[in-house]
Chains A and B, each alone.
Chain A
Amino acid sequence: MSQLVQGNEACARAAIASGCRFFAGYPITPSSEIGESMARLLPDVGGVFVQMEDEIASLGAVLGASLGGARALTATSGPGFTLMQEHIGYAALAEIPCVVVDVMRGGPSTGLPTRPSQGDVMQARWGTHGDHPVVALAPYSSAEVFELTSRAFALSERLRVPALVLYDEVIGHLRERVDIADVPLARGERPRPSVGPAAYEAYAPGPDLVPPLADFGRGYRFHVTGLTHDERGKPTDDPAIVGALHRRLQEKVVRARDDVVSVATVALEDAEVAIVAYGVAARAAERAVSDARARGLRAGLFRPRTLWPFPDAELRGLASRVRALVVAEMNLGQLLLEVERVAAGRTHVEPCLRADGTPLTPEDIGTAIGEVIGAAV
């Protein structure tokens, strides 16, 4: 049975359906509805909602709850996302599952609180310091917010990584028909120790490079630290151990890449021009593709549903066979840098950028398509 569901509400409902039983957050436009929905929904399923004093505290509380064994969520927007960055790095190094939703608005600073943007793509990748793994998913509809929030939980738990869900203000506030029963829920459990407490080492990786994680207070005693540590959690600066840890943290996500990376495409089979777009820009791009096809132009859409890790392999193949890639995003060129890196001169890369607080339109993208085809002719 279909329902009219707002993107932010879909996020909350997906979290509950995915077993999330803890939410800590701080109000910020345009993500506040997620927290409000969780405040309404969690008590009925025996979960806990807490409004913290800021975003730093919010993610801290989420990580504490996660170590206690709860699936935990927080949601914010650009400025709050910035405050969370230290704890995102902490979660990456300490390997604590958590899901962070960033509903993007115009920035920098307070910027355009009520207006959409896609300005946090690079913050999601590089916002915290040091090398670290990142999983960031980018839904473009209410239904996909539901699906990818659920997927974020599954990946976060299974890989012991912070999982980010990035979408813009338009997707967050958009109400559209969703048949929730039809949306596939992702499954993913945190690996549990197969040994008893005496033999347990909280950072000794399994075959998939992910260490099993016990809950606090259930018989296993272990140390969790943001200091670089050995397999028992003991802080160390031994270069061999430090180097191996940093590589393993990246490698565990790379190994799971096939489950992490997801791309949706439209009409790419015979495309001469491929649009690369995500979030609300991809909705405009879908229209631009059909408009271009109606004009006889062979356009298609490459829509990463996973921004990080970036779908290098998928895009590289495409770059080898199209005449141009049009990168349509609502910032001054962030994912553009990744596309240029992967294309590496194989094809022309055309930016189609907007950073004025309004969504990209099909016309903006159509114009860009026309220009690259005209230029190529």
Chain B
Amino acid sequence: MPAESGSVLLVGVGGQGVVLSSAVAADAARRSGFDVKQSEVHGMSQRGGVVSSHLRYGPLVHSPLIGAGEADAVVALEWNEGVRAIPALRPGGTLIVSLDRIPPPSAFVDRHGGAVAYPAVAPDTLRRTVPDVRAADATSVAAAAGNARAMNSVLLGILSPLLPFPAEAWDGAIAANVPRAALEANRAAFAAGRALRFPAAPAPGTGRPRRRAPAEPPSVGSVDIVDAWCKGEDCAICVRACPEYVLGFEPDARPVRAVRPDACTACMLCEILCPDFAITVRRAAVPAGPSLVAAETT
């Protein structure tokens, strides 16, 4: 990451602390003598909608917004949001991502413009597109440090060595922005994150998939449909609710079918909203590849 300027995109879902984390990082930049601009873009954050925060620092910054392919680092507090934000990374950028999975909000959100796919991706698979992935079970790390809710500080801790901000700047920023009651927990979480060590990014050319790449991991979720209970196209709540366009109708209209079964992220929306008890979502655990996940601390 360039020492003189940089761009960091923070993403997550409402309530995780994206905005606070961004404020801390921006304050650390300011304390380090940089000009800094920061801007939040939130959707329906109060009900768990998507939140992102753009942060740019340098000698002089005119706009806070980071265009596609411009981010030096993406910090994702939620797994799928991290996957979704990959197009923002510049080539060689770093994806810092939590393994926490918080499926989309409880009910209809505006569908996140189908342009960005929402694939069921295992951490190891990511390396094909992002050589430098630093994935951590941030909530567990934070819990071990004293408070699971400080997981956002764990991720800042992971981010911190990549940015040209001295440790005092980070600590001052945390102290100035985090509510007093949670301060110590966040300091400890930050320190724990900063101490995590990740496997080195592969050298250029070696990060491409090997010929005998492991098979794509199974889809994260699957959808069971009770055909006789589904009331078909006249309802269509599930079809319209699914953020991944997993469900659809054959020409004969009834019952609903999983037309893109591999895209299911087990977000549960269709099951929760199906008024006819016709859908059951089966969830599989995210297979976390050991080569990407922090396994040791120094």
Question: Do A and B touch directly, given a CB cutoff of 8 Å in the complex?
Answer: no
A residues sitting closer than 8 Å to B (CB atoms) are none
B residues sitting closer than 8 Å to A (CB atoms) are none
